[in-house]
Amino acid sequence: MMTKTARTGRKQKKAEANSTAMLPMPALDGEHLDISMLETWLWDAACAIRGATDAPKFKDFILPLIFFKRLSDVFDDEFAGQAKEFGDEETAREVIKADHEDALKTGRRPIVRFFVPHQYCWDAIRNHAANGELGQFVTDAMRETARLNPDLQGVLDIKDYNERQSGQRTLDDDRLALLIEVVSRHRLGLKNAEPDILGRAYEYLLRKFAEGQGQSAGEFYTPKEVGWLMAHLIDPQPYRTVYDPTCGSAGLLIKCRLLYEEKHPKEKSRAPKLFGQELNPVTFAMAKMNMFLHDYTDSTFQIGDTFTKPGFAAEGAGLRRFDYVVANPMWNQDNYDETLYENDQRKRFEYGAAPSSSADWGWLQHISSSVNDNGKAAVVLDTGAVSRGSGSKSSNKEKLIRQGFVEADLIEGVVLLPENLFYNTPSPGLIIVLNRNKPASRKSEFLLVNASAYFVKEKPKNALTDEGIAAVSEVFLRWETREKLSRTVTLEEVREADYNLSPSLFVETNDKTHHRPLARVLSDLNAARDSRQKADSALDEVLTRLGLAASERQ
């Protein structure tokens, strides 16, 4: 039981939450939240505890709390249904606990999605005194819930809400209590927020954190418009698989699934299965949370370095192969040397070792090896990936690998993106589309698209427009050359360009003044002078016959 002092303290925290975040009063159980309400509320929750530069530090505290709130509210909804069925709460609690324990042993699906112990439900967290033990209580609640739900291990239990740096709490109880009170403002149960809406709000919050993180944001977030374009380019079909070897917060995978559901609203049970691997444990946890919030519980994730220890291996020496791959690996990674490529047990690098200064074409070879014989991939990389080494007389490893891809007809197209879209760089970036089964009509052809003009200026970054997404998707579908946007080029043209696949080399987007070479200009002037002299001579001859002297002619 809470003491009078503890209750007074909690009331004070609630008052501070009202004053600081200026949020609406707690929602009724039946209130249905839309995306705008959720976005505003979640960002205000973040602002309740962060300073101007604190977003990177507190992201890891805020996201698990929101996720746990959803788990707890959904459990409460499912528990209420069982209590109604059995007639009282005590019986329902005993049945749910016994069923959950049996389900863990037998592997069957339990009657509730996730089991949250009563002593650690959200109300228990909200009403725990901020007396120096709140951080430990929240940590215990999440770790015990993860222990009872193996799917949540490594997801819900990674954050210590009692952690210290230099002897001081990173997030003290007072600020933690304030955050908990703000998060408590809305229910996130089954009747309050659809998985898609909640998932979209979660992605919005990730984007807002990315805006505050600058250079480090690219580790976990790809601009949503770029993700939608990639989904359109691969266009997932029923019963397929989609893989992201550098999945970050899983946004690219989720957009592939959402696009499928948008195009096939009556066939959601046939939706593609999602697979991902992520190196960073915190980002891996965010990806799993993102999947659970979207209710994509059939997804599969691995943690670890995909380059050195790919998590989806086939029997023998190969890799598991998927129908589609989407990826935004770190650009120009310089932490892999040649020995990794030469000693690779999975035989991924048949076209050669990428230079130690950039693993871009190492990633493309891993991705190509992960695509089945009918599969496609869309990969975001630095613009230099398609041009480095071209035009040089000296040997270049990237150009040689790129040449191997071109000659094997693995590349379907390249899309140049607008500049300043990505949070970790102002560079434009591009999407390389791989296709292991190009239609006969497209063999030995490549579609190069210059979409650099399709953006709107926003703060802090530009945004790819819906018009741009539609235009690029359409030219790929129709495989067409379109003025100031796209051009199909032949294998011979790519060879003549020394395997430079830069869209800007083949597609101009602006009305430019074309300057002819000086030598040609001088040659044309000489030819004009010669023609003038011949014309003058012919005129003199005619006038002479007419008896007019040169002086009279002048």
Please check the confidence at residue 5 and state whether its pLDDT lies above 70.
no
CB atoms within 10 A of CB 504: 15
Please check the confidence at residue 54 and state whether its pLDDT lies above 80.
no
Q: Contact 288/154 with Cβ under 8 angstroms?
A: yes
Query: For residue 198, what pLDDT is reported?
Result: 84
Q: Give phi and psi for 481, each to the nearest 5.
A: -90, 125
Closest CA to 326 of 405, 237, 236, 263: 236
d(CA 336, CA 361): 12
pTM, two decimals, is 0.84
d(CA 505, CA 515): 16
Average pLDDT taken over every residue of the chain = 88
Q: Contact 537/428 with Cβ under 8 angstroms?
A: no
DSSP string over 286-320: HHHHHHHHTT-TT-EEEES-TTTS-SSBPSTTSB-
Residue type, 52: A
Predicted confidence band at 13 (pLDDT cuts at 50, 70, 90)? Answer: very low
d(CA 40, CA 198): 12
d(CA 486, CA 506): 8
What are 201's two structure tokens?
A: 């709000």
Query: For residue 216, what pLDDT is reported?
Result: 63
Query: For residue 196, what pLDDT is reported?
Result: 81
Closest CA to 116 of 164, 138, 89, 148: 148
What are 366's two structure tokens?
A: 């891993």
Query: For residue 517, what pLDDT is reported?
Result: 53
Residue with tokens 């089954």: 190
Query: Model confidence over 198-238: pLDDT tens digits?
Result: 888 888 888 888 887 765 666 678 999 999 999 999 999 99
192-206, 223-237, 353-367, 401-415: least confidently modelled range:
192-206
Helices 55-86 and 195-213 cross at an angle (nearest 10°) of 170
Q: How many residues does the chain have?
A: 554
| DSSP code at position 482 | B
Q: What beta strand segments (E) does 99-207 contain?
A: 164-165, 168-169
Query: For residue 430, what pLDDT is reported?
Result: 98
DSSP lists the bridge partners of residue 449 as 415, 486
- Strand 430-435 with 411-416, pairing: antiparallel
Please check the confidence at residue 319 and state whether its pLDDT lies above 90.
yes
Predicted confidence band at 539 (pLDDT cuts at 50, 70, 90)? Answer: confident
- Mean pLDDT of the 116-121 span: 96
What are 427's two structure tokens?
A: 């560079």
Q: Contact 112/78 with Cβ under 8 angstroms?
A: yes
- Mean pLDDT of the 401-423 span: 97
- Strand 241-244 with 322-327, pairing: parallel
- Mean pLDDT of the 425-439 span: 96
What are 524's two structure tokens?
A: 């044309």
Query: Model confidence over 251-284: pLDDT tens digits?
Result: 999 999 999 999 999 999 999 999 999 999 989 9
Q: Contact 322/371 with Cβ under 8 angstroms?
A: yes
Residue with tokens 């999947």: 291
Query: For residue 535, what pLDDT is reported?
Result: 73
Asked if the peptide bond before residue 460 counts as cis, ω within 30 degrees of 0, the response is yes
Q: Contact 197/321 with Cβ under 8 angstroms?
A: no
CATH code of domain 214-506: 3.40.50.150
Query: For residue 551, what pLDDT is reported?
Result: 46
What are 70's two structure tokens?
A: 């959803």
DSSP lists the bridge partners of residue 432 as 379, 414
55-69, 236-250, 508-522: range with highest mean pLDDT: 236-250
Q: Give phi and psi for 415, each to the nearest 5.
A: -120, 120
Q: Is 394 helix (H, G, I), strand (E, B) or coil?
A: coil
Predicted confidence band at 513 (pLDDT cuts at 50, 70, 90)? Answer: very low
Cα dihedral angle (252, 254, 257, 258), rounded to 10 degrees?
-110
Q: Is 2 helix (H, G, I), strand (E, B) or coil?
A: coil
Residue with tokens 């995909």: 306
Predicted confidence band at 24 (pLDDT cuts at 50, 70, 90)? Answer: very low
| DSSP code at position 99 | H
Please check the confidence at residue 127 and state whether its pLDDT lies above 90.
yes
Residue type, 490: T
Query: For residue 29, what pLDDT is reported?
Result: 62
Q: Give phi and psi for 55, each to the nearest 5.
A: -55, -45
Residue with tokens 């066939």: 267
Helix (H) or strand (E) holding 276: strand 273-278
Q: Contact 465/223 with Cβ under 8 angstroms?
A: no
Q: Who wins on pLDDT, 14 or 224?
A: 224
14-18, 369-373, 433-437: least confidently modelled range:
14-18
Q: What beta strand segments (E) does 454-505 contain?
A: 455-456, 463-464, 486-490
- Mean pLDDT of the 518-535 span: 64
Q: What beta strand segments (E) does 319-444 contain?
A: 322-327, 371-381, 411-416, 430-435
Helix (H) or strand (E) holding 445: strand 445-450
Query: For residue 336, what pLDDT is reported?
Result: 94
**4-193 classified as CATH 1.10.275.10:** no
